[in-house]
Structures are given as structure tokens and as C-alpha cells.
Amino acid sequence: MTALACARITYKLHRHAAVFCGQGVRWASLLRQEGYINGQWVQAMSGKDFKVTNPANGKTIASVPDMDERDTQVAIDAAYAAFTSWQATTAKERSALLRRWYDLVEANKEDLAILLTQEAGKPLSESQGELNYGSSFLEWYAEEAKRIYGEVGQSQSKSKEIIFIRQPIGVASLISPWNFPNALVTRKAGAALASGCTCVIKPAEDTPLSALAVVDLAHQAGFPPGVINVVTASRTNTPGVGKLLCTSPKVAGISFTGSTAVGKLLYEQCASGIKRIGLELGGNAAFIVFDSADIKTAVEGLMVAKFRNAGQACISANRVLVQDGIYSKFVEAVKAAVGTELEVGDGLEKGVNQGPLINDSQLKRLERIVGESVAAGAEVVMGGGGHKLGGLFYQPTILSGVTQDMVCFKEEIFGPVVAITRFKTEDEAVAIANATECGLANYFYSRDISQAWRVARKLESGMVGINEGLISAAEVAFGGIKQSGIGREGSRHGIDDYTYIKYLCFGGVN
């Protein structure tokens, strides 16, 4: 971090918190190095921990408990016991706590953003954007808590009255990913808590600090013990922890965001208990640019949809399809934008807007995808390899002449690589876009209103951005179809995964 950035952040003292700032160490109240179970900050029963490192420089930021199934069972038991009283709280009481949590996040956004940048590597400006996004879910569900309505049905019998009410399902296991370690905790927990559920949160092993920090603020907001719990675990212990979160008879449902492969495994594990499940899995988004599109606007949209978090987003534009009539102009425009607008480096440095990849596994995977695609005939317009900064940094890359059989089209890239192919007709573009097992998001650009309606309806995905590259918000129903998941997060529909409908039949009323 620059001296200027250090100087403008005021840190609070806490004996368990240390954060690297240049060559010195400052104490920060929001950097927790314990798990959170039943309202207490605790170490792993085994006494073991694991390190959390900054992907920009490989330095250790902190160590957190390496919890296993025993710790997880304690957390589940705490959530299960707390559910008895938490489900009986009024919507107004839950709303007030969520609003208090939101206010505390808003008051601590700068500290949270710096912590997020250090553990996730994303530029500080993006971390600040994620904090705004994440807190918006707490605000949204503070309001939605008071709008979980039932229904009155019309009976065919004069002696009966029919009522449907919604009730919380119970304990919810929330497994969040590393790429949005703040927002995907608040998105899940906000909905669960608003519904009257208690929860056990398992953050990704690469980025547990943001989850712990935001839950620290929930603790300060006054949530009762056991209502929110956080279990941290290394890669070694994660499979066992995840399995227990899916199979425990005390867990009523699970929400997971991550890879399709892991999602399938968790889905299978939940089957034994017939759990309620919400899955937001991998994507392979098409970004279609029709001849009628405004090229400048389309390029601006692509820069957002592709390079946010260095391309490490489930809704990142993966397959760029450009119609023949503007193909050459569009490729040149993208090249110019990438060459002038992206500054790669440590996310805490001024002017940087693309950070490193999260870990070595992601770097090697990206190198394989680009290498195999180039070997198959893709042309490197720019970039194509590791950045001069070394480490986990990768050059912003453009590949043209890509075909559907290349690995960069078949697999989710999850990195700062634009893969461009050309098409002739609208039907061809739609067919290419739909030729995937994924169905999370798609994007297209067109100034033809009739075409906009036709294509939007034909694209097989849960979300479609039309002349827009940024589609996430608290008020939208976020989720996919096909192998991209089950259920929706955000909007009023985010409550659905955490409530069930109870039918009440009143007889003898006439």
C-alpha cells in the first residue's frame, strides 16, 4: 500500500488483528484470526491453522483456524439451538438487526475494502465497489424481511378456509467463493436471516478474512449467539467440512456458489437428506455484437463484463461473438481499449485496475487454456502469457479467429482473456451461444428493438444483459439454468430458498 493510502485509513486497535502496510504493520479491528461459533471467537479444536496470503506479492496476511468436522458440528449445533428462538422473532426485529449490520458495514467500508484487496488481489476501486454491492444486500433484505407474505386461497367447500403461510426452513449452510468474498456472504446471509433461518458460513480458503470481518460487524450489530456462525478450513479439511454441512440432519438447506463440479458433488451429498438447495455455478457467457450495435458502447460493456476482477467472475463474458460486418472494426476497438485502459499491478497501488489471479492453480489453468487454443489456431492479437510483474499476474489477452471447438470456447476461462469469433446470421449467433451446458448469463448488443426481443427470448440463460455489461444488483434475481445452478439470489425471490409454504386448512367455519 502506498504511504498516502496508509495515512488516510484510520485503524482501530485490536489485539488479534495485524495487516501489512508497506514495510510496517498496523493493527486493525476488523482482521479476525479466529472462527466464530455461538457468539464467540474461537480457535480450531485441533489447534491447527493455515495461512492467508496476498496474491499480489505472496506475503502472509494472517492465519486462521483450520477447522474440521468436529468444529463444524459445534457450529451446526449452535445454529440449530438458536433457531428455536430466532424463528420466533418478528420481521421488524430481524429487519432492525439487518439494518444495523448494514449501517456498520457502511461505516467501515474503507477498512473492509483494503482487507479484501489484500486477500483477493482485486484493485482497491473494485473492492470498494464490491463493498457497496455487498452492503446493498443487507439493506435490501432488511426491507424484504417485512414483506414475506402469505396467501388466502379460495376453497371449493363452504365450510373451509384455505391459507398459505411462509416459514423459515431452519439451519442454512452457506458456502461462499473466493472471487466475491464479501458480497456473496451478505447476499446469502441477508436472505437467510431475513427469512428467520440461522446459518453456518464456510468461506473459501483463499479469502476467509472478509467473511470474518463482515461477521464481526454482525456481532457488533447484536445478532444473538448461534444465529450466525463461521467455520474456516484449509483445502485439506474443506471436503469433510462441506460434506457435513450437506448431510447433517440438523441442516435444512444449503446455498453454494462455486464450480459446477463441486456443485454437483454437494447436490449429491444433499440428496440423502432431501435438503433444500440453492446452487450458483459456473458460466460460459456469450457476448454477442450484432452489426447494428454501437461499437463504442459494446466495447465499453465488454471491458466491464470481461475484465472485472481480472475476468474471475461467474458472469464474465467468455465467448465474444461478432457479426461479419463489424468484426475487424470491433477487434481493433477492443485492442485499443485493452491497450490503453488496463493497468496491471498490486491492487493497492494508485491507478491499478487489474490485479493478479487468485492462486497458482488458476494461473496454470489459464496458461493451459490459452496455450491449447493458440496451438489449435487462435491468433494472439495481444498478450498471451504471464505478465512482466511475474507471480500470479497475467497479461490482458485478446485471441481472435477462435472456433467453437477450441478449449477457450468450451471451458470457462476465468481470467483476463478475450476470445473472439465471427458469425454471419442472428440464428447462427444464438445457436453458438446456446451450444453449452452452462446457462448463467449472456450479453448482446443491438440497436434493433425487434432483434433485442427475439434474441433475449431465445438465449438459454437465467440472465441476459441487453446493451449492458454490468447486470448484478441486489434487486435482481441472480441465477442460472441448465448446469449453472438452481434457485435465485437477490430480489424478493432470494427469500424462496430459505422458506417453505405451509398450507393451513380451517374447517367447520360456516
Please name which of 169, 170, 168, 174 lies closest in space to residue 229, comparing C-alpha atoms: 174
Q: How far apart are CA 413 and CA 433, in angstroms?
A: 15
β-pairing, 161-168 with 151-153? antiparallel
Whether 367 is a known active-site residue: answer no
DSSP string covering 435-479: -SSEESEEEEE-S-HHHHHHHHHHS-SSEEEES-S----TTS-B-
Instruction: For residue 257, give the 3-state DSSP assignment.
Output: strand
Q: Which residue among 21, 199, 270, 314 is the active-site one? A: 314
With a CB cutoff of 8 Å and minimum separation 6, the contacts of 388 are: none
Give the E-state strand segments of 298-427 in sequence order: 317-323, 379-382, 397-400, 417-423
Instruction: For residue 137, give Cα distances in angstroms to 120, 239, 433, 462.
Output: 20, 28, 30, 20
Give the E-state strand segments of 265-416 in sequence order: 276-280, 285-289, 317-323, 379-382, 397-400
Helices of type H across 248-326: 260-271, 295-307
User: Would you tell me the crossing angle of helices 109-120 and 124-144 to the nearest 10 degrees?
Assistant: 120
Q: How far apart are CA 149 and CA 356, in angstroms?
A: 45
Q: Which residue among 126, 130, 280, 489 is the active-site one? A: 280
Report the number of secondary-structure helices (H) and strands (E) in the chain: 15, 24
Residue 103 CB burial class (10 angstroms; 0-12, 13-18, ≥19)? middle
Would you state the cell numbers that stand for residue 146, as one nine-digit string? 417485512
DSSP state of 19: E
Residue 48 CB burial class (10 angstroms; 0-12, 13-18, ≥19)? middle
Please name which of 153, 149, 213, 151 lies closest in space to residue 181, comparing C-alpha atoms: 213
With a CB cutoff of 8 Å and minimum separation 6, the contacts of 85 are: 224
Q: How far is CA 255 from the centre of its chain?
A: 11
Instruction: For residue 172, give the 3-state DSSP assignment.
Output: strand
Q: How far apart are CA 156 and CA 150, in angstroms?
A: 19
- Given a contact cutoff of 8 angstroms between Cβ atoms, the answer to whether 16 and 200 are in contact is no
With a CB cutoff of 8 Å and minimum separation 6, the contacts of 239 are: none
Whether 408 is a known active-site residue: answer no
The catalytic residues are: 280, 314
